[in-house]
């Protein structure tokens, strides 16, 4: 097996893994009427089926990227695949709205581990101009899978069941795990010596969860209901504490590690040697979280060219 073949199989694994999460987000939206009818869910329950997934994915995706940098991207990526698949089986076997909502929240946690790992693994696997093409391929297939998700979901619901929208993740996960175990190399950021910012993650979940709960319960209960008021207050306070904690914490890199690493590699690969000389030394605003940034090899802002100073 040549190095080029291993890279291509690694790219395929990351594309299929990301497709699982992107398809899931759109397929479930199509399945909502069917599962609402079968489980006897209220409109609030249906909203939580969607929001529980998005809530935990959005709140923990940065933590997932940070863990990949510190403990190994392949390890966290595979852990996310297994977690997401187990949660999908949970959702497919749901017998009540509450059971399904819990499963969707667990799915969001698994997706938060595998989504940032996909892009970071591509950045660590490819070099130079190939990295830009690989990321473009990953982005293109991600957009395609998001678009075909409703079509797949409609066919599955019409011909099989809404539960198959979750069970379809099982064979896809087996393919990803097989390819990853045989062709994917482990990678991590050797400069990462700090701990994961669990306090920031907890405050993000509490803050976002409180705001979402308050807004979802507002229409049926009214703006003056104690549950609505307390949820919104807790959410706003949680988000405010998150800002304070992140500004005062020496970790402060939680919110950027994986994405900084990936996009720094992407932008550096898109610039030719002549272009980089013209642009001069570039410095990244995220220098504390990326080894390439600290080395001054890439930047998001263009400094004046040396010959213009």
| Between residues 11 and 208, the one the model is more confident about | 11
Of 233 and 253, the one with more pLDDT: 233
Percent pLDDT > 70 in the chain is 78
pLDDT at position 286 is 37
Output DSSP code: residue 305. Answer: P
Mean pLDDT highest for which of 103-107, 151-155, 208-212? 103-107
Higher per-residue confidence, 2 vs 111 = 111
Report the chain's terminal Cα–Cα distance, integer Å. Answer: 50
Q: Where are the domains of the chain?
A: 3-188
Look at residue 1 in the predicted model and tell me its pLDDT.
64
Question: Domain 3-188 classified CATH 1.20.1250.20?
Answer: yes
The yes-or-no verdict on residue 248 having pLDDT over 90 is no
Query: Is the per-residue pLDDT at 109 higher than 60?
Result: yes
Q: At what angle do helices 43-71 and 97-125 cross, to 10 degrees?
A: 30
The model's pTM is 0.73
């Amino acid at each position: 097996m040549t190095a080029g073949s291993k890279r291509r199989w690694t790219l395929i694994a990351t594309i299929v893994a990301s497709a699982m999460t992107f398809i899931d987000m759109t397929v479930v939206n199509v399945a909502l009427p069917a599962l609402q009818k079968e489980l006897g869910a209220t409109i609030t329950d249906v909203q939580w089926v969607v929001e529980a997934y998005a809530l935990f994915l959005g709140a923990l995706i940065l933590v997932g990227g940070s863990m990949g940098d510190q403990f190994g991207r392949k390890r966290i990526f595979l852990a996310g695949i297994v977690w997401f698949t187990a949660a999908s089986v949970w959702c497919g076997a749901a017998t009540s709205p509450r059971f399904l909502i819990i499963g969707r929240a667990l799915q969001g946690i698994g997706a938060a581990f595998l989504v940032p790992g996909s892009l970071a693994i591509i950045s660590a696997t490819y070099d130079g101009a190939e990295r830009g093409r690989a990321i473009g391929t990953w982005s293109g297939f991600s957009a395609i899978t998001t678009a075909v998700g409703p079509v797949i979901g409609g066919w599955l619901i019409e011909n099989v069941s809404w539960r198959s929208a979750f069970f379809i993740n099982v064979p896809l996960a087996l393919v990803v795990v097989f390819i990853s175990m045989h062709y994917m190399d482990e990678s991590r950021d050797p400069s990462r010596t700090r701990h994961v910012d669990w306090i920031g993650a907890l405050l993000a979940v509490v803050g976002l969860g409180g705001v979402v709960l308050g807004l979802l319960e507002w229409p049926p209960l009214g703006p003056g209901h104690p549950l609505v008021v307390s949820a919104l207050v807790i959410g706003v306070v949680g988000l405010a504490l998150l800002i304070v904690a992140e500004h005062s914490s020496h970790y402060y890199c939680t919110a950027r590690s994986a994405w900084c690493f990936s996009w720094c590699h992407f932008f550096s690969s898109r610039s030719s040697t002549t272009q980089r000389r013209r642009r001069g030394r570039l410095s990244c605003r995220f220098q504390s979280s990326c080894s390439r940034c600290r080395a001054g090899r890439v930047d998001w802002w263009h400094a004046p060219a040396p010959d213009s100073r």
